[in-house]
Structure 1
Amino acid sequence: MSSPTRSIFSPASTLANPCQFLYIVFIVCFGLTTRYGAGRHIIFATDVRLLQIFNLTNENLYACALALLKWSVLLLYRQLFGSRVAWFDRLTWVAATVATALALQVLITSDLQCIPIATSWDPSISGTCFDYGKSALVAYVINFVTELTILTMPIPLVLRL
């Protein structure tokens, strides 16, 4: 009589794998941006269009990877502590919702900061752009608070062990 086989991949690790893949693609794209002028003054940029396209791609990849990483950690918490503690269960869902909303906010605002998108690299095209710096600052603050929350969530449960 054999015992039922269990998958070696938990839901947390299942999300961590695409997160790692997205992060590797992000690093490659980030490295490629230096070819087109990243890290230098804008007057030394060799191809502003490709530089901006890679920057948008990088922001999208990073936002998706970060959301998957947060979901992975939250799923690990649920796997370790289960749903035995009501406040912890609710807090994991709230943190997951905020992480998803943050990723969507970054994706939408980075891709639509200029309409049409080509306005961001070609000033001869008429269009409208908004101040992305303010939106990014809000996203950074929300990201910091979310990460701090996720980091400190299990402390009360671990102290009870």
Structure 2
Amino acid sequence: MSSNQTSSWVEGDFDHPNEALQRSVKISLVFSFFMPTVAVALRIWARKLSGCRLFLDDYLILIALLFKYGCSIGVTMLLYNGLGSHMSMVPEKNLIVYFKIGWSNPFLYTTCVAFIKLSILALYKRLFAVKHMIVAVNVMASVVVLWAVSIMVAATLNCIPISSFWDRSIDGRCINTANFNYGMQIPNIISDLIILIMPIKVVIGLPIPKTQKILLSGVFLVGGLTLIFDIVRLWVMIELTKSGPDITYYQAPTAMWTCLEAAVAIVGACLPNFRPLFKFGSGFWTQLRSSRASSKAHLNSATMNNTSSTNSISKPALTSHVSDEGTQGIEVHRYSKYMDCEK
């Protein structure tokens, strides 16, 4: 550990850890417990207000919340086993617990993030039931599952033998930490980016005014904040690998951003489901349904006029026009139906 690194931190030991480091982690823990819990509770309440049953995406986000609790509890245990203290000052028994939690963290974190992504994809599949979206959702879901499984396999075999990860007295060989972080976080960032932009094309194709399309796209793109947290977390993880062997002392920022990233992701996944909680939203969705009704009324009127006035328009052309408009109407109807739970 270099002298300039030591001087940039307030010294701490196991009995008197760095208060600034621990304070930042404690604040992040409060947010990471509170924010996703409230978001999921509001989501379920919104279902109840709409008279809806819970859908697959709701169950998936509930599972993600449980694993999020696991991650946060793990970080809490780190605080009591040396986080913010110099590793040389931490008793051996506490170090073993500390590194066992560190070994289990990729399983809890990866599973949590995977279920968040799968919940969002299930929402897309439920709302935007068009062929290309269904195919895209299935492909991305497969990618997410493969990513999660590969991270778990790599985490399991992080060190050979496995026990050498937490028992430093055992001679073993371990995966390069920086490479493991890149392998975990870069695919995570890329998949988040793809999931964020997936619904934009379908939303643009809806026969509603441009301002409403922008508003609707904005609801889904609010989750872009998660992408920022992904990138920051990768950066602090890489910085940790450059900080030297005093892991218990320098790992606080990584623990903090790990807590916050998954919490923000759950909140972002729940936001599109909050519409029933806000009275001002009802006008927008009523307008969306009205645009469908107006489109159908206009189509029926045009069809009757064309039939009564002249036979100059051929039947195949008219059939094609009805099919195009009907497809748009079905898309709007399906979207409105699933957001409002019309029976």
| TM-score, reference length from structure 1 | 0.87
1:60 aligns with 2:107: yes
Where in structure 2 are the equivalents of 1:1-161 lying within 5 Å?
8-46=53-91, 47-82=94-129, 84-86=130-132, 88-161=133-206
Bigger Cα Rg: 2
* Deviations 1:8-65, CA, capped at 9 Å, x for gaps: 1101101111111110121111111111112443323342110011112222111111
Q: Measure, in 2, the Cα distance between the counterparts of 1:137 and 1:39.
A: 25
Q: Measure, in 1, the Cα distance between the counterparts of 2:131 and 2:204.
A: 14
Q: Measure, in 2, the Cα distance between the counterparts of 1:42 and 1:93.
A: 45
Q: Measure, in 1, the Cα distance between the counterparts of 2:89 and 2:203.
A: 53
Q: Measure, in 2, the Cα distance between the counterparts of 1:105 and 1:44.
A: 35
Corresponding residue of 1:3: none
| TM-score, reference length from structure 2 | 0.43
Change (3 A) 1:33 1:131: same
Name which of structure 1's ranges 96-105 and 142-151 shifts more when overlaid on structure 2: 96-105
Percent of aligned pairs with the same amino acid: 25
Q: Measure, in 2, the Cα distance between the counterparts of 1:116 and 1:50.
A: 17
Change (3 A) 1:45 1:158: farther
- Which 4+ stretches in 1 moved above 4 angstroms? none
Q: Which protein has the bigger helix share?
A: 2
Give the secondary structure class of the aligned counterpart of 1:33: helix
Name which of structure 1's ranges 109-118 and 120-129 shifts more when overlaid on structure 2: 120-129
Change (3 A) 1:41 1:72: same
Give the secondary structure class of the aligned counterpart of 1:36: coil
RMSD: 1.7
Q: Is the 8 A contact 1:63 1:103 kept in 2?
A: yes
Number of positions where the alignment pairs a residue of Structure 1 with one of Structure 2: 154
Q: Which has the higher contact order (CA 8 A, sep 6+)?
A: 2
Q: Measure, in 2, the Cα distance between the counterparts of 1:41 and 1:91.
A: 48
Name stretches of at least 5 consecutive residues in structure 2 with no aligned partner: 1-50, 207-343
Name which of structure 1's ranges 38-47 and 97-106 shifts more when overlaid on structure 2: 38-47
Aligned AA for 1:66? V
